[in-house]
Amino acid sequence: MSVIQATDLTKRYGDTIALDELTLSIPAGVVYGYLGPNGAGKTTTMRILTTLTQPTSGTASINGTPITDRTTVTRQIGYLPESPPLYYNLTASEQLDLAAGLRDLPEEQATARIESLLDRLDLREDADTRISDYSKGMRQKTAFIQAILHEPAVVFLDEPTAGLDPRAARTLREMIVELADEGTTVFLSTHILPVVEEVADTVGVLYEGQLVAEGTPTELTHRAETGGNQTLEEAFLNLTSDESDSVEADEHD
């Protein structure tokens, strides 16, 4: 069974079509890299699959549960949006304790997991500092911990390495691969193509609301329509014919 299943998902905003009959079938334990230029519909897709937005038409399910059942779906997912949902007046420890409580995690289990993840991402010494005093990278790491704290079946990550220094970005990439190895499905949207090339099992390319290509990174770089035997970036540019957006942060998708 596909853990993420979408059939003919369409989203319209007035006369604008943000998603055009998108169909996805993503199994457990894979990293799915989701690429597309600004305005392609990536964030719209993630908002629909995380129950934050309803599609105009089409259906989708997470781990067999229709996205119309928001209560059940949200228990099974973690979501790191591009703008992390954090309370800046709290410390990281307080933020994560709050998240654990909202997820009904047993206190002892939650404490052990929080401490382990803080250690892994080099936040332990700053755990009692207010998030308002954190750098962008520290906030990003805190939000990533929050997204995976309850060990969800599916994790949605939107530009997860934004603001991270090279060492922290490498650690996060390693953790993404480990999540998939442990059976978690990771839906990863980013403009940093080397990250996708390194960690993704499958890549989907979205352009003007439509899925224009899908396959392993190697398959995409060897597609005849991309010229064959190219880098993932070159293949992406050929598939989307939108070079100007490929290296910019997706702030308005």
Among candidates 202, 188, 193, 199, which has minimal Cα distance to 234? 193
Q: Regarding beta strands 210-215 and 65-66, do their DSSP bridges make them parallel or antiparallel, or are they unpaired?
A: unpaired
Burial class (CB in 10 A: 0-12, 13-18, 19+), 246: middle
Domains present along the chain, CATH in parentheses: 4-85+153-245 (3.40.50.300)
Confidence (pLDDT) at 245? 42
Q: What is the pLDDT of residue 251?
A: 40
Q: pLDDT tens, 184-236?
A: 999 999 988 989 999 999 999 999 999 999 999 999 888 756 566 778 888 88
pLDDT of the residue at 93: 97
- What pLDDT was estimated at residue 228? 64
Q: State pLDDT tens for residues 55-105.
A: 999 999 999 999 999 999 999 999 999 899 999 999 999 999 999 999 999
Q: Which long-range contacts (CB under 8 A, 24 or more apart) does 14-18 make?
A: 17/209, 18/44, 18/209
Mean local confidence (pLDDT), 101-113: 95
The 10 Å CB-count burial string (b at 16+, else e) for 23-37 is: ebebeeebbbbbbbb
